[in-house]
C-alpha cells in the first residue's frame, strides 16, 4: 500500500468526498482523508476549501495526524486568516504540553502561519518557549523569532525578542547558539545598520566554542558570522584562525568554504613574515582541491571561488595546476571554469604542461569549450612571455586543422598576440591570409582585417585582400565595417599611390551609403583628416598603440577585496558585489578586508577598499561616442574655410579635395605650413576623436573619470589650497573642461571652479545644479560667468555653497553629482568633496561633555585608522588640525605617547570624537574615531590624512 493512490482521485466532486471523510467519526478514515488532502496540496491542487474541516482534526492525540494538520495550516492559513484564528488556542495549549517535541512543533508551526492577526496571540507562548528548560524548544523558538520578524518586524522589536535572542548567543547548548546566530543574521540582513550581532572578544569566544559542537549547518552560520568580525590585532586574528582551521577537514563543503572565507579575511591582518602565515597558506590548498572531487554542482561553486582566491593569493594553489585539468565528461560549466583557473595559474614553470593540455582540448567536440581553449592559448602567450613562441606555433598547428571555428578563434587571439609583441611574429601573416575565405564570424573577420591594415606594408596584396572584403561592405556587421574603414585608411597612408581609389570608395560607402552613425562619423573624421592634414592623419591613424596588458580579465583589486569577504556566497559565484544584484539593494553593507596591522609596509591599501565603485551605480552620463564625434565635426563649422565635405557635398568634391592638397603634402615628407591653417581642430580633440580607430583600445568611459576624481579628495582647508583637479575632461563635455576644488573660509564653503573652453565655439549661458547629496550641499548663488567664453579661454570663479539643499544618502558618502549647462548641452559629472569643508567653527566640545559622549557611544561605533608617514609632532599636528576646525579638547601623555582628544562637528550637527595617538619619532599615528553615525568615520579619517599631510 503506497501513497501514490492519493494522486489518483481527480474526479469531480472530490472535495465533497474529502469533506465527508474528514468529518467521519472513524479516526482511521480521518487520517486517510488528511493524507489525501496533503497529497493534493503537494502537487499544487487547491484544497483550501477544506480549511475548517481540516482544522477540526487538529485537536487530537495522534501525533502524525497533528503534524499533517500543521502542514496543511502552514500552507493555507494565509488565504483563510479568519479561520486560522480558530487554531490559535490549540497552539497556545500545545506550547504547554509536557512533551517537548510537541511544544517545539507548536512553536515551529506558529511561526509559519503568516497571518498578521494571529501573530500577536503568539507572542506570549513564544516568550515562554525562548526560556524553555529544554534546549530543543529554545532552539526552535530562536528560529521562530526570525520568522515572526519577517512577518512583523515592529512587533518583534517592541516585544523585546531581539534582546532575548542576543542572550541566547551565550546559551549553554551549542545548537541553540547556532540557531540564535542564524536567526540574528537573517534579521540583520534586513536591518543593515542595526548592530544586532555586536561581536566582542567574549562573544567570539562563545561562538568558537559552539563551533566545535554544533551541527554542520550551525557551523556555517557561525563561520559566516565570524567573518564579519574585525579582530583587534594580529594576535587575535591568529588565535581565531587557529581555532577555525580544523573546520577545513569537514566533510560538508559549505563548512569548508565558509572556513576558507574566515581565514582568507583574517590572513590579511597577519604579517607575511610570520611562520604561522606560511603554515596557513599550506593548509588552505588541500581542502580547496578536495572540493573539486565533489559533485559537479559543488565543483562549479568551488571553482568560481577558487578563481577569486587565486587572484588574491596565487601562492596557495600554484603547485596544484593538475587538478584543474579537464576530464572529457565534466559538465561544460565545470570545464569552462577550470580553463579559466588554468590560465590564472599558468607560469613559466608549468606552461609546457598547460599548453599540451590546451592543445588537447582544442580538438574536443564541444564547440564552446574548444573556442575557449583556443583563446586560452592566446592568453597564455600574452601572460607568459617565454611561452609566446610555442603558443604561436600551437595556434598555427590548429589553423592547419582547418576546422572552421578553431581557425577563427585562433586569428582573433593572434591579433592580440601582435598587440602584445609587435614585430615578432608577423611571419605567420602569410598563413593567416590563406584562411581568409573561411572566416565567417564578424569578430574573426574584423581581427583579420585589422591585421591586414596594420601590416599592410608587409603584405604584397593587402589592397586586393581588403578590396575583396569591400565588395560586400553593406552586408558586414558594424564591427567589420569600422575595421575595414580603418584598415583601408591605414593602407592608404602606407601606400598612398596605389590605393587612392580604394580609399575613396570606402569613404563614400561609409559616409553616404551607411545608416550607422558611428561608421558615418568615423568616415567623416578620416575624410577630414586626410583632406586637411595628412601628416596629422598619419600621426593619428598610425600612432603607436599601447601594448595590451597581461591579463585583461582580472578583477579590479578593490572589488576583489570586497569579493573575498563574500567567499561562498552568491556574490562569489557572480563575481559582483551583492549591491549589484541583490534585489532592491536593501541594506547591502560594503565589506572590506581588515587592514594589516603588524607590518609597517602596507602592500595593499585597505583604506581604499570600501570605496569600491561598482560600475552599476556609475553616476556620470557620458555622451555616446558617436554624438561626440558628430559634434566635433560641427565645431569647426565656425571659421569659414575651404569647404569641408558636408554630408550633402558630392563625392567628387571630397575626392578632389582629398587628392589635392592632402595627397601632395603626404608625399612630401615635410609638412610646410600645413599646421598653421586655421582649420585644424586642437590636437587634443583630434586625438580623442581618433581613439575609436584603435582596435580594441578600451574607450575609457566614466569609470576612469571616477578614478581621476578621487584625486580631488585631498583638497584644501583653511590655509591649505589643494591644486584643482580635472572634474570634467573636455572630451566628455564637447570641449568644456572643468576643474575645481572645495574650500572653507571663515564659515563659508565654496567651490572654486576653472572653466576652459577647448572647443572652437563660443560658450555662453552657463548654469549649475547639484543632485541631492548626503549633506545637502547646494549652490548659494547662480553660476556667474559674465562674458561668453571664447575658444581657448579660461575663466576662474568661486561658487559659494550652503548646506540647506535636500538630503539623500550617497555612496560614497561624500559623492556630489553635478550638472553643468551651457549653450551646447548639459553635462554631468560627479566628484568627491573632502569632508573637512563641512567641519564647522563651533566644533569644540567641553571636556566633561566629551568624556560623557565618548562613553555613551557604543564601542562598535569606534573605528581605528593608521595615518602613516606623517612625521609631525603633537603641537604641529594639533595646530594644523585646529585651522581646519578639528579642535583639541584635551591632551595626555602615556608611556611616551601623546594622546590628543579632539572633537569636530559637521554642518548637519553630527559630532565626531577622535583620539589621535602620536609617538614621537614614529611617523605613524593612530586615529580612533567615535561617532553615532559610523559611516562618516572613513571620510573623517581621509580628511585627517589630507590635513596632516599637507
Partner 1 sequence: MIHSLFLINCSGDIFLEKHWKSVVSQSVCDYFFEAQEKAADVENVPPVISTPHHYLISIYRDKLFFVSVIQTEVPPLFVIEFLHRVADTFQDYFGECSEAAIKDNVVIVYELLEEMLDNGFPLATESNILKELIKPPTILRSVVNSITGSSNVGDTLPTGQLSNIPWRRAGVKYTNNEAYFDVVEEIDAIIDKSGSTVFAEIQGVIDACIKLSGMPDLSLSFMNPRLLDDVSFHPCIRFKRWESERVLSFIPPDGNFRLISYRVSSQNLVAIPVYVKHNISFKENSSCGRFDITIGPKQNMGKTIEGITVTVHMPKVVLNMNLTPTQGSYTFDPVTKVLAWDVGKITPQKLPSLKGLVNLQSGAPKPEENPSLNIQFKIQQLAISGLKVNRLDMYGEKYKPFKGVKYVTKAGKFQVRT
Q: Which three cell numbers stand for residue 618?
A: 556609475
CB 482 within 8 A of CB 523: no
- Residue 175 sits in the site that holds partner 1 (CB under 8 A): yes
- The reply on whether position 847 binds partner 1 by CB under 8 A is no
- C-alpha grid cell, residue 818: 553635478
Q: Does 112 bind partner 1 (CB under 8 A)?
A: yes
Q: Choose, by CB under 8 A, the member of 4, 497, 549, 652 that binds partner 1.
A: 4
Q: In what order do the strands lie in the sheet with 826-832?
A: 767-770, 815-821, 826-832
Nearest approach, Cβ of residue 609 and partner 1 (Å): 19
Site for partner 1 in 537-576 (CB under 8 A): 568-571, 573-574
How far apart are alpha carbons 443 and 596 in whole angstroms? 45
Binder to partner 1 among 220, 730, 753, 906 (CB under 8 A)?
220
| Binding-site member from 22, 68, 632, 913 for partner 1 (CB under 8 A) | 68
Nearer to partner 1, 2 or 603 (CB): 2
Question: How many other C-beta atoms lie within 10 A of the C-beta of residue 497?
Answer: 9
Among 58, 106, 240, 256, binds partner 1 (CB under 8 A): 256
Residue 114 engages partner 1 in binding (rule: CB under 8 A): yes
Among 133, 273, 275, 295, binds partner 1 (CB under 8 A): 295
Q: Is 65 in the site for partner 1 (CB under 8 A)?
A: yes
CA atoms within 13 A on the CB side of 948: 26
Q: How far is the CB of 329 from partner 1 (least distance, A)?
A: 7
Smallest gap from residue 115 Cβ to partner 1 (A): 12
57 CB neighbour count, 10 Å cutoff: 21
Instruction: Output the smallest distance, CB 30 to partner 1, in A.
Output: 11
| Backbone CA torsion sign across 164, 170, 172, 174 | positive
Q: Would you put residue 885 in left (φ > 0), alpha (ψ -120 to 50) or beta? A: left
**CB of residue 298 vs partner 1: minimum separation in angstroms?**
5
Nearer to partner 1, 364 or 457 (CB): 364
Q: Which of 33, 58, 71, 755 binds partner 1 (CB under 8 A)?
A: 71
What spatial distance separates the first Cα and last Cα of the chain, rounded to whole Å?
A: 85
Q: Does 250 bind partner 1 (CB under 8 A)?
A: yes
Count of residues interacting with partner 1 (CB under 8 A): 104
Stretch that binds partner 1, among 51-59, 100-108, 749-757, 855-863 (CB under 8 A): 100-108
Supply angle C-alpha 280, 320, 375, rounded to 5: 130
* 257 touching partner 1, by CB under 8 A: yes
Q: Is 856 exposed, middle or buried (0-12, 13-18, 19+ CB in 10 A)?
A: exposed
Residue 817 to residue 888: CA distance in whole angstroms: 33
Q: Does 252 bind partner 1 (CB under 8 A)?
A: yes
Residues facing 866 on adjacent strands: 926
Residues 6 or more apart whose CB falls under 8 angstroms from that of 662 comprise 530, 531, 532, 533, 534
Q: What is the CA radius of gyration of the chain?
A: 35
Question: Quick one: 901 exposed, middle or buried, by C-beta within 10 A (0-12, 13-18, 19+)?
Answer: buried
User: Rule CB under 8 A: is residue 351 a binding residue for partner 1?
Assistant: no
Cis peptide bond upstream of 812, omega within 30: yes
Query: Left (φ > 0), alpha (ψ -120 to 50) or beta: where does 496 sit?
Result: alpha
Strand pairing category for 911-918 and 897-905: antiparallel
- For 549, the grid coordinates are 596588458
Per CB under 8 A, which region of 32-40, 47-55, 490-498, 528-536 contacts partner 1?
A: 32-40
* CB-nearer residue toward partner 1: 291 or 837: 291
814 binds partner 1 (CB under 8 A): no
Q: How far is CA 878 from CA 903, 918, 922, 946, in A?
A: 12, 11, 16, 14
Under the binding rule (CB under 8 A), the answer on residue 585 touching partner 1 is no
The grid cell for 227 is: 567573518
The answer to whether 111 contacts partner 1 (rule: CB under 8 A) is yes
**Distance (Å, whole) CA 75 – CA 15:** 17
- For partner 1, give the closer residue by CB, 574 or 679: 574
Q: Kindly state whether residue 746 participates in binding partner 1, applying the rule CB under 8 A.
A: no
CB of 403 to partner 1, least distance (A): 6
In angstroms, the CA 819 to CA 653 distance is 42
Select from 247-255, 846-854, 888-896, 935-943 the region that touches partner 1 (CB under 8 A): 247-255
The verdict on 848 binding partner 1 (CB under 8 A) reads: no
Dihedral angle sign, alpha carbons of residues 694, 699, 705, 710? negative
Q: Which stretch binds partner 1 (CB under 8 A): 95-103, 439-447, 748-756, 827-835?
A: 95-103
Other CB atoms closer than 10 Å to residue 214's CB: what's the count?
23
Find the helix packing angle between 517-532 and 625-635, rounded to 10°: 40
Q: How far is the CB of 162 from partner 1 (least distance, A)?
A: 17
- Pairing relation of β-strands 911-918 and 794-802? unpaired
Total residues belonging to the chain: 950
Residue 318 near partner 1 by CB under 8 A? no
Cβ 328 to partner 1 shortest distance, Å: 5
Query: What residues contact 428, with CB distance under 8 A and at least 6 apart?
Result: 392, 396, 414
Segment lying near partner 1 (by CB under 8 A), choices 183-191, 457-465, 544-552, 765-773 = 183-191
DSSP per residue, 701-763: -HHHHHHHHHTTSS--BTTB-PPPEEEE-GGGTTTEEEEEEEEEETTEEEEEEEEEE-SSS-B
Element of type H or E holding 113: none
Q: Minimum Å distance from CB 401 to partner 1?
A: 6
Stretch that binds partner 1, among 248-256, 447-455, 706-714, 763-771 (CB under 8 A): 248-256
Residue 357 binds partner 1 (CB under 8 A): yes
Q: Tell me how far apart the alpha carbons of residues 405 and 440 are, in angstroms, rounded to a whole number.
A: 9
Q: Which is nearer to partner 1, 244 or 429 (CB)?
A: 244
Based on CB atoms, which residue is closest to partner 1, 224 or 409?
224
List the one residue from 23, 194, 290, 508 that touches partner 1 (CB under 8 A). 290
* Part of the chain binding partner 1 (CB under 8 A), chosen from 330-338, 413-421, 533-541, 678-686: 330-338
- HEC letters along 194-234: CCCCCCCHHHHHHHHHHHHHCCHHHHHHHHHHHCCCCCCCH
Least distance to partner 1, CB of residue 207, Å: 17
- At its nearest, how many Å lie between partner 1 and the CB of residue 320? 8
Minimum distance between the CB of residue 388 and partner 1, rounded to whole angstroms? 23
Which of 39, 110, 237, 529 binds partner 1 (CB under 8 A)? It is 39
The residue (of 226 and 726) whose beta carbon lies closer to partner 1 is: 226
To partner 1, the closest distance from the beta carbon of 199 in angstroms equals: 19
Out of 21, 53, 132, 224, the residue judged to bind partner 1 by CB under 8 A: 224
134 contacts 152 by C-beta, under 8 angstroms: no
Site string for partner 1, 393-432 (x = CB under 8 A): --------x-x-----------------------------
In this chain, which stretch among 62-70, 162-170, 234-242, 643-651 interacts with partner 1, using CB under 8 A? 62-70
At 514, list the grid cell.
Answer: 551607411
Residues 119-158 that bind partner 1 (CB under 8 A): 134-136, 140, 143-144, 146-147, 150
Near partner 1 by CB under 8 A, which window of 61-69, 488-496, 655-663, 816-824? Answer: 61-69
Identify residues 72-91 at the interface with partner 1 (CB under 8 A): 75, 78
State yes or no: residue 662 binds partner 1 (CB under 8 A): no
Q: What is the footprint of partner 1 within residues 190-219 (CB under 8 A)?
A: 213, 215-217
Exposed / middle / buried, residue 185 (Cβ in 10 Å: 0-12, 13-18, 19+): middle
- Kindly state the smallest distance separating residue 4's Cβ from partner 1, in Å: 5
Amino acid at each position: 500500500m503506497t501513497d501514490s493512490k492519493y494522486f489518483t482521485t481527480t474526479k469531480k466532486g472530490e472535495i465533497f468526498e474529502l469533506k465527508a471523510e474528514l468529518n467521519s467519526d472513524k479516526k482511521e478514515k480521518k487520517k486517510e482523508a488528511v493524507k489525501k488532502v496533503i497529497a493534493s496540496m503537494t502537487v499544487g491542487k487547491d484544497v483550501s476549501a477544506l480549511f475548517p474541516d481540516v482544522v477540526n482534526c487538529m485537536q487530537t492525540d495522534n501525533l502524525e495526524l497533528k503534524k499533517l494538520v500543521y502542514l496543511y495550516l502552514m500552507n493555507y492559513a494565509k488565504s483563510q486568516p479568519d479561520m486560522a484564528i480558530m487554531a490559535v488556542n490549540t497552539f497556545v495549549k500545545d506550547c504547554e504540553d509536557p512533551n517537548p517535541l510537541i511544544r517545539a512543533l507548536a512553536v515551529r508551526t506558529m511561526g509559519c502561519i503568516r497571518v498578521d492577526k494571529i501573530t500577536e496571540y503568539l507572542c506570549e507562548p513564544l516568550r515562554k518557549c525562548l526560556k524553555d528548560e529544554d534546549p530543543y524548544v529554545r532552539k526552535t523558538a530562536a528560529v521562530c523569532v526570525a520568522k515572526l520578524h519577517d512577518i512583523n518586524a515592529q512587533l518583534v522589536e517592541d516585544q523585546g525578542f531581539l534582546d532575548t535572542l542576543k542572550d541566547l548567543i551565550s546559551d549553554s547548548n551549542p545548537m541553540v547558539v547556532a540557531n540564535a546566530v542564524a536567526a540574528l543574521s537573517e534579521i540583520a540582513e534586513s536591518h543593515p545598520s542595526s548592530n544586532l550581532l555586536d561581536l566582542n572578544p567574549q562573544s567570539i569566544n562563545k561562538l568558537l566554542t559552539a563551533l566545535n559542537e554544533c551541527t554542520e549547518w550551525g557551523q556555517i552560520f557561525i563561520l559566516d558570522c565570524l567573518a564579519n568580525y574585525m579582530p583587534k590585532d594580529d594576535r587575535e586574528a591568529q588565535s581565531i584562525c587557529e581555532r577555525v582551521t580544523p573546520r577545513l577537514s569537514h566533510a560538508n563543503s559549505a563548512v569548508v568554504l565558509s572556513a576558507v572565507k574566515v581565514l582568507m579575511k583574517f590572513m590579511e591582518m597577519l604579517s607575511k613574515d610570520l611562520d604561522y602565515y606560511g603554515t596557513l597558506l599550506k593548509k588552505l590548498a588541500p581542502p580547496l582541491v578536495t572540493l573539486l572531487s565533489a559533485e559537479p554542482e559543488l565543483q562549479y561553486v568551488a571553482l568560481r571561488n577558487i578563481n577569486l582566491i587565486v587572484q588574491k593569493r596565487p601562492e596557495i594553489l600554484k603547485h596544484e595546476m593538475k587538478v584543474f585539468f579537464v576530464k572529457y565528461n565534466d559538465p561544460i560549466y565545470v570545464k569552462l571554469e577550470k580553463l579559466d583557473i588554468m590560465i590564472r595559474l599558468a607560469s613559466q614553470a608549468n606552461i609546457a604542461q598547460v599548453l599540451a593540455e590546451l592543445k588537447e582540448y582544442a580538438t574536443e567536440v564541444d564547440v564552446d569549450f574548444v573556442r575557449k581553449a583556443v583563446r586560452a592559448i592566446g592568453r597564455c602567450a600574452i601572460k607568459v612571455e617565454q611561452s609566446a613562441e610555442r603558443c604561436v606555433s600551437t595556434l598555427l598547428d590548429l589553423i592547419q586543422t582547418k576546422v572552421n571555428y578553431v581557425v577563427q578563434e585562433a586569428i582573433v587571439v593572434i591579433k592580440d598576440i601582435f598587440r602584445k609583441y609587435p614585430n615578432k611574429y608577423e611571419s605567420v601573416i602569410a598563413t593567416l591570409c590563406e584562411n581568409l575565405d573561411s572566416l565567417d564570424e564578424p569578430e574573426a573577420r574584423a581581427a583579420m582585417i585589422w591585421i591586414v591594415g596594420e601590416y599592410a606594408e608587409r603584405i604584397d596584396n593587402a589592397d586586393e585582400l581588403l578590396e575583396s572584403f569591400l565588395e560586400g561592405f553593406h552586408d558586414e556587421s558594424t564591427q567589420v565595417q569600422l575595421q575595414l574603414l580603418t584598415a583601408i585608411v591605414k593602407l592608404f597612408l602606407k601606400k598612398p599611390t596605389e590605393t587612392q581609389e580604394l580609399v575613396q570608395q570606402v569613404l563614400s560607402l561609409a559616409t553616404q551609403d551607411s545608416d550607422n552613425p558611428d561608421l558615418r562619423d568615423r568616415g567623416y573624421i578620416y575624410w577630414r583628416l586626410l583632406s586637411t592634414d595628412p601628416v596629422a592623419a598619419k600621426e593619428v591613424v598610425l600612432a603607436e598603440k599601447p601594448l595590451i596588458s597581461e591579463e585583461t580579465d582580472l578583477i579590479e583589486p578593490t572589488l576583489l577585496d570586497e569579493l573575498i569577504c563574500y567567499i561562498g556566497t552568491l556574490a562569489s559565484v557572480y563575481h559582483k558585489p551583492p549591491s549589484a544584484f541583490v534585489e532592491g539593494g536593501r541594506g547591502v553593507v560594503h565589506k572590506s578586508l581588515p587592514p594589516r596591522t603588524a607590518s609597517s609596509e602596507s602592500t595593499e591599501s585597505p583604506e581604499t577598499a570600501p570605496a569600491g565603485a561598482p560600475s552599476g551605480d556609475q553616476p556620470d552620463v557620458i555622451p555616446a561616442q558617436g554624438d561626440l564625434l558628430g559634434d566635433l565635426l560641427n565645431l569647426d563649422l565656425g571659421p569659414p574655410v575651404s569647404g569641408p565635405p558636408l554630408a550633402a557635398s558630392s563625392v567628387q568634391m571630397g575626392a578632389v579635395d582629398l587628392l589635392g592638397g592632402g595627397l601632395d603634402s603626404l608625399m612630401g615628407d615635410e609638412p610646410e605650413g600645413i599646421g598653421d591653417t586655421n582649420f585644424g581642430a586642437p590636437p587634443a580633440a583630434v586625438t580623442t576623436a581618433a581613439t575609436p580607430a584603435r582596435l580594441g583600445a578600451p574607450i575609457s568611459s566614466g569609470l576612469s573619470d571616477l578614478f581621476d576624481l578621487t584625486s580631488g579628495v585631498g583638497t584644501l582647508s583653511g590655509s591649505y589650497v589643494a591644486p584643482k583637479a580635472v572634474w570634467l575632461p573636455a572630451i566628455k563635455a564637447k570641449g568644456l573642461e572643468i576643474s575645481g576644488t572645495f574650500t572653507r573660509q571663515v564659515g563659508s564653503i565654496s567651490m572654486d571652479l576653472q572653466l576652459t573652453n577647448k572647443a572652437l565655439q563660443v560658450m555662453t549661458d552657463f548654469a549649475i545644479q547639484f543632485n541631492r547629496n548626503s549633506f545637502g550641499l547646494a549652490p548659494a548663488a547662480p553660476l556667474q560667468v559674465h562674458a561668453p567664453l571664447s575658444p581657448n579661454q579660461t575663466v576662474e570663479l568661486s561658487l559659494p555653497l550652503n548646506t540647506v539643499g535636500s538630503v539623500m544618502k550617497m555612496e560614497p558618502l561624500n559623492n556630489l553629482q553635478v550638472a553643468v549647462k551651457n549653450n551646447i548641452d548639459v553635462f554631468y559629472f560627479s566628484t568627491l568633496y573632502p569632508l573637512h569643508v563641512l567641519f564647522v567653527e563651533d566644533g569644540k566640545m567641553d571636556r566633561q561633555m566629551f568624556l560623557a559622549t565618548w562613553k555613551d557611544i557604543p564601542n562598535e561605533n569606534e573605528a581605528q585608522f593608521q595615518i602613516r608617514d606623517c612625521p609631525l609632532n603633537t603641537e604641529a599636528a594639533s595646530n594644523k588640525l585646529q585651522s581646519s576646525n578639528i579642535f583639541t579638547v584635551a591632551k595626555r601623555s602615556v608611556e611616551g605617547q601623546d594622546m590628543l582628544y579632539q572633537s569636530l562637528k559637521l554642518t548637519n550637527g553630527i559630532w565626531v570624537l577622535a583620539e589621535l595617538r602620536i609617538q614621537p619619532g614614529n611617523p605613524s599615528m593612530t586615529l580612533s574615531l567615535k561617532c553615532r553615525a559610523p559611516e562618516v568615520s572613513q571620510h573623517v579619517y581621509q580628511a585627517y590624512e589630507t590635513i596632516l599631510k599637507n
